[in-house]
Amino acid sequence: MKSIYWGIDVGGTGIKLGAFLKDGSLLLKREVQTDLTDHGRRILPDISRIIRSMAEEQGWDWAQMAGAGIGIPGPVRRDGYVERCVNLGWMGFNPQKELSELLHIPVTAGNDANMAAMGEYWQGGGKGYRSLMLITLGTGVGAGIVLDGGHILYGAKGLGGEIGHTVICPEEPLRCTCGHYGCLDQMASATGIVRNAHRFLEKDARLSVLREIPEFSCRDVLDAAKDGDPVAEETVRYCLGFLGKSIAYASYIVDPEVFILGGGVSNAGKYMLNIVKDAYQANAQLADTFAEIRLARLGSEAGMIGCAGAAVVQNP
Amino acid sequence: MKSIYWGIDVGGTGIKLGAFLKDGSLLLKREVQTDLTDHGRRILPDISRIIRSMAEEQGWDWAQMAGAGIGIPGPVRRDGYVERCVNLGWMGFNPQKELSELLHIPVTAGNDANMAAMGEYWQGGGKGYRSLMLITLGTGVGAGIVLDGGHILYGAKGLGGEIGHTVICPEEPLRCTCGHYGCLDQMASATGIVRNAHRFLEKDARLSVLREIPEFSCRDVLDAAKDGDPVAEETVRYCLGFLGKSIAYASYIVDPEVFILGGGVSNAGKYMLNIVKDAYQANAQLADTFAEIRLARLGSEAGMIGCAGAAVVQNP
């Protein structure tokens, strides 16, 4: 009986692999380094070899393998084709097809943010909801959308959910890496929060614990804000205000049941959640149509778990 | 053989009914007034009676009826339930279920803007594309999204695609009917264009043909802009600039293959299309991910046609 699903989250530095049952229970997992040599051509053969040896160690018959999902740090088309994945060195090929040929099982490929959204939908903060949008606030702002029945919104060009580079603060004087000014990425990411804290500190001479931390991190800013530091608080409210606005936009376009917040910034928990909720509700129209906003639960394993979840949806 | 599909577009003043074949060809249509008496309770029995008599007149066997779609001017949940439809007087009932019981055929209900999007997808400006977002610029701004394979994006609360009340110009001093300031509806609708033209006229004393038209319409503004009237041109570029920005947001969230522009404002054709394209591209990130933008083709029949199209998708 085919009962084992593999989740494979490929990052620029490491690959997370896990074997799951259909109900989401994790049987075993492993983490290996990503071999980027030879334009990333060794990545898929490596994955195939590791998965086979993991299965062999457990004494699993290969006939039990129901499918696999693979997440990639870049845009993936619905048919699995990757035009370009800078982080892995890949250009114009189809990892879904190639990995399926290597493993002799069905494989479904997707963007890592979409796979993470699928993970939170299947086993995390969105479990029990019919549709969700996951927004991860880390170095940048990533996002993924899962619609009714576990369908990932890929988008025609693999941009589904990519709100990080929507211009949300046109008066921002600094240019974003994308070439525009005032992207959500510049404001609500961990990087954006640190950058804006420096700006608020330079504006006047107010006392702030941040002035005593030489190279403060986003976590320092969030901790200081929680403790009532006025500059840190102002920064966090300012930055997360733009996220609330973006969520309001997205709620009128995609209208998911719940928004899930993940990534490093979301470690500030209920404190940040309440700020985002307030900002969202101030920018949304009718109270009886407010979507829920909740915290992510799966941390850095959301992608791996979501890859297995996507495999379950493809091969139930 | 079941081969006839009905499209029923219910508006606050009239109901459009059409019988279609699976390939989209129209067999016959009729338009009747909407009877709003008794809280709109006569609407569905009226529709049932008219459809049966149309079929009878043609000598069609009822066994040929494959299904029907019904469009409603308000939010409809995926299961067909309507919580409230102010324009029809309906409160808390399921027209999909009731009409299906009256007609003894499968019925699918949807919001009229979503059904119009389905119409443009099936037989109009989006024919041949895999996914689209229709934006109609009339008295207000309406919108609907159709994803791969003809699936309407309903949204958890029936808000899918409803970009009209996203705040796109926060510095707008006038309050929108929804309670917020600077909604897209206030800027890019026909009403919004007329309102903004008055504002630009009051700003200074520049010559403009609009000053000679006592109660000018949106069409007057668009015609004057096309003829090079500076105030009209400034108005149109200003107002449609916000639409371009909204399209950029939506392209990063839903990423459809094509955006279709409909409604009265879109009658200005290529002139307005080019202005919107410029504004969209100025607010979007990478040229190789630009979505197409095209004009709607079905005019006020998009809804009726889309209802039949939705019935085809449901009962192929």
The minimum CA-CA distance between B104 and chain A, rounded to whole Å, is 28
DSSP A195-222: HHHHHHHHHS----GGGGSTT--HHHHH
Cβ count within 10 A of residue A48? 17
Contact criterion met (CB below 8 Å) for A152 and A114:
yes
Cβ contact (<8 Å) for B249 and A166? yes
Interface test with B, best of A168, A253, A289, A292 (most B CBs within 10 A): A253
Contact criterion met (CB below 8 Å) for B2 and B63:
yes
Cα of A248 vs its chain's centroid, Å? 19
User: What was the pLDDT predicted at B132?
Assistant: 96
User: What residues of chain B have any CB closer than 8 angstroms to a CB in chain A?
Assistant: 78, 130-131, 145, 147-148, 153-163, 165-167, 178-180, 245, 248-257, 283, 285-286, 289, 291
Of A156, A250, A253, the CB nearest to B131: A156
Q: Which residues of A touch B244 (CB under 8 A)?
A: none
User: What was the pLDDT predicted at B148?
Assistant: 86
Of A130, A253, A283, the CB nearest to B156: A130
The minimum CA-CA distance between A29 and chain B, rounded to whole Å, is 32
User: What residues of chain A have any CB closer than 8 angstroms to a CB in chain B?
Assistant: 78, 130-131, 145, 147-148, 153-163, 165-167, 178-180, 245, 248-257, 283, 285-286, 289, 291
Binned at pLDDT 50, 70 and 90, residue A179 comes out as confident
Give the residue-averaged pLDDT of A155-179: 83
CA end-to-end span of chain B = 12
CA A15, CA A42: separation in Å to the nearest integer? 12
Cβ contact (<8 Å) for B162 and A257? no
The minimum CA-CA distance between B256 and chain A, rounded to whole Å, is 5
Cβ contact (<8 Å) for B160 and A251? no
Q: Which of A77, A100, A198, A185 is CA-nearest to residue A137?
A: A185
Question: Three-state SS for A8?
Answer: strand
Of B78, B249, B286, the CB nearest to A249: B249
Interface test with B, best of A162, A285, A290 (most B CBs within 10 A): A285
Cβ contact (<8 Å) for B160 and A131? no
User: What was the pLDDT predicted at B181?
Assistant: 84
Residue in B closest to A257 by C-alpha = B156
Cβ contact (<8 Å) for B255 and A157? yes
Q: How far are the Cα atoms of A66, A262, B156, B210 from residue B261, in angstroms, in the given order? A: 44, 35, 25, 25
A to B CB pairs, distance under 8 Å: 107
The minimum CA-CA distance between A152 and chain B, rounded to whole Å, is 11
Cα of B308 vs its chain's centroid, Å? 15
Strands A132-137 and A141-147: antiparallel
Residue A21 Rama label (left phi>0; alpha psi -120 to 50; beta): beta
CA B12, CA A224: separation in Å to the nearest integer? 55
Of B78, B163, B252, the CB nearest to A252: B163
User: What was the pLDDT predicted at B184?
Assistant: 92
Cβ contact (<8 Å) for B165 and A131? no
Cβ within 8 Å of residue A71, ≥6 positions away: A7, A8, A9, A10, A109, A110, A111, A112, A114, A115, A116, A303, A304, A306, A307
User: What was the pLDDT predicted at B286?
Assistant: 65
Asked which of B164-173, B193-202, B208-217, B239-248 is least confident by mean pLDDT, the reply is B164-173
Cβ contact (<8 Å) for A166 and B78? no
Give the residue-averaged pLDDT of B74-102: 91
User: What was the pLDDT predicted at B274?
Assistant: 97
Cβ contact (<8 Å) for B245 and A167? yes
DSSP B15-73: EEEEEE-TTS-EEEEEEEE---TGGGTTHHHHHHHHHHHHHHHHT--GGGEEEEEEEES
User: What was the pLDDT predicted at A286?
Assistant: 65
Cβ within 8 Å of residue A278, ≥6 positions away: A244
Cβ contact (<8 Å) for B255 and A155? yes
Q: Which residues of B touch A179 (CB under 8 A)?
A: 285
Cβ contact (<8 Å) for A283 and B167? yes
Q: Which residues of B touch A167 (CB under 8 A)?
A: 245, 248, 283
Cβ within 8 Å of residue A262, ≥6 positions away: A116, A120, A125, A134, A135, A136, A137, A295, A296, A298, A299, A302
Contact criterion met (CB below 8 Å) for A159 and A75:
yes
User: What was the pLDDT predicted at A285?
Assistant: 67
> Is the Cα torsion angle B218, B219, B222, B224 positive or negative in sign?
negative
* pLDDT tens, position by position, A282-296: 888 666 678 999 999
Cβ contact (<8 Å) for B156 and A253? no
Interface test with A, best of B186, B285, B294 (most A CBs within 10 A): B285
Of A159, A179, A254, the CB nearest to B155: A254
* pLDDT tens, position by position, A83-137: 888 889 999 999 999 999 999 999 999 999 999 999 999 999 999 999 999 999 9
Give the residue-averaged pLDDT of A194-213: 95
Quick one: DSSP state of residue B91? E
* pLDDT tens, position by position, B49-84: 999 999 999 999 999 999 999 999 988 888 899 988
Residue in A closest to B114 by C-alpha = A253
Counted residue by residue, chain A has a size of 316
Q: Which residues of B touch A291 (CB under 8 A)?
A: 156-157
User: What was the pLDDT predicted at B282?
Assistant: 87
Of A155, A165, A291, the CB nearest to B285: A165
Cβ contact (<8 Å) for B252 and A285? no
Binned at pLDDT 50, 70 and 90, residue B158 comes out as confident
Q: Which of A310, A253, A315, A314 is CA-nearest to residue A113?
A: A310
Q: Is the pLDDT of residue B287 over 70?
A: no
Which ipTM value was assigned to this complex?
A: 0.82
Q: Which residues of A touch B153 (CB under 8 A)?
A: 147, 254-255
Q: Which residues of A touch B155 (CB under 8 A)?
A: 131, 254-256
**Residues B166, B169, B175: CA angle, nearest 5 degrees:** 80
User: What was the pLDDT predicted at A239?
Assistant: 97
* pLDDT tens, position by position, B102-134: 999 999 999 999 999 999 999 999 999 999 999
Report which residue type is found at B4. I
Q: Is the pLDDT of residue A81 over 80?
A: yes
Give the residue-averaged pLDDT of B186-190: 94
User: What was the pLDDT predicted at A2?
Assistant: 80
Residue A222 Rama label (left phi>0; alpha psi -120 to 50; beta): alpha
